[in-house]
């Protein structure tokens, strides 16, 4: 689902150490954490690094977060919101329930993964305890629901039934796997002569047939 290109990120140089209002502190820390996740990965960042990058004291994060994990969950949540908005934008100007609209969702999904590979990995690396985060679960269901509503419209179904869910799940797993192959450079290394946008369209046609 797809936008392309990975921006170079250096948290230590891109976060300006400026004065902030208390209301901006949370956003400032999450921005620093997000950039560190892209630069180093979610397993290799520390709260102290995020504080240095944001230009705040090491005590500052505890006004909003109890620990490092809460900061990462918040970054994952924001990533899920950006993915949802990218998918909504992808179908906004397309006819509902068409191969074109469903392909656009697939392209938006893959594109988000390529733009934010660190956050994408983080979002799905927290899945073992997603059930403990009601807001995260709700947001995930809402995002998946965008795809399901398009599949239901394509199949002429008034509601999201088992068939809609099954086909939507097949579509999601296809582009999800493709996303990880792309951000892990597996496709480039073996030099597959494949047009990804065209392939996503072909997958949509086959899985919806």
pLDDT of residue 52: 86
Tell me how far apart the alpha carbons of residues 21 and 3 are, in angstroms, rounded to a whole number: 34
Query: 203 and 135, same structural domain?
Result: yes
Tokens of 152: 């239901």
Nearest CA-CA partner of 113 in 32, 21, 49, 196? 196
Q: What is the domain range of residue 58?
A: 9-65
CATH number at residue 56: 1.10.10
Report the range of poorest mean pLDDT among 85-99, 113-127, 163-177. Answer: 113-127
CATH code assigned at 180: 1.10.357.10
C-alpha to C-alpha distance for 184 and 187, rounded to whole angstroms: 8
Count of beta carbons in the 10 Å neighbourhood of residue 157: 15
Do 59 and 102 share a domain, yes or no?
Answer: no
Q: What is the mean pLDDT of residues 93-114?
A: 95
Is 55 a member of any domain? yes
Query: What distance separates the 2 farthest-apart alpha carbons in the chain?
Result: 57
Q: Which residues contact 133 (CB under 8 A, 6 or more apart)?
A: 73
Domain co-membership, 50 together with 109: no
CB 135 within 8 A of CB 77: yes
Residue 202 and residue 141 share a domain: yes
In a domain, 1, yes or no: no
The per-residue pLDDT for range 122-148, each reduced to its tens digit, is 998 865 666 577 888 888 899 999 999
Residues 71 and 197: their CA atoms lie apart, in Å, by 34
* pTM, rounded to two decimals: 0.81
Domain count, the chain: 2
pLDDT tens digits for 6-17?
333 344 443 444
User: Residue 110 falls within a domain, yes or no?
Assistant: yes
Q: Look at residue 196 and tell me whether its pLDDT is greater than 90.
A: no
Quick one: 117 and 201 in the same domain?
A: yes
Residue 195, both tokens? 């047009």
Kindly report the CA angle at 137 between 141 and 151, in degrees rounded to 5?
10
Tokens of 194: 């494949």
């Amino acid at each position: 689902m797809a936008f392309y290109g990975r921006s170079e990120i250096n948290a230590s140089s891109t976060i300006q150490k400026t004065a902030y209002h208390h209301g901006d502190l949370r956003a400032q820390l999450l921005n620093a954490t997000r950039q560190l996740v892209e630069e180093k990965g979610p397993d290799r960042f520390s709260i102290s690094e995020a504080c240095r990058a944001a230009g705040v004291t090491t005590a500052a994060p505890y006004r909003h977060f109890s620990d490092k994990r809460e900061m990462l969950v918040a970054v994952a949540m924001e990533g899920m919101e950006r993915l949802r908005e990218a998918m909504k934008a992808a179908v906004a100007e397309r006819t509902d329930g068409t191969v074109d609209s469903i392909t656009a969702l697939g392209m938006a999904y893959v594109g988000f993964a390529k733009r934010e590979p660190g956050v994408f990995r983080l979002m799905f690396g927290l899945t073992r305890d997603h059930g403990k985060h009601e807001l995260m679960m709700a947001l995930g269901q809402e995002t998946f629901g965008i795809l399901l509503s398009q599949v239901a419209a394509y199949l002429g179904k008034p509601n999201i039934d088992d068939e809609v869910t099954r086909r939507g799940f097949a579509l999601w797993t296809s582009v999800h796997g493709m996303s990880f192959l792309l951000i892990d450079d597996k496709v480039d290394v073996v030099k597959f002569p494949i047009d990804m946008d065209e392939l996503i369209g072909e997958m949509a046609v086959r899985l919806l047939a």
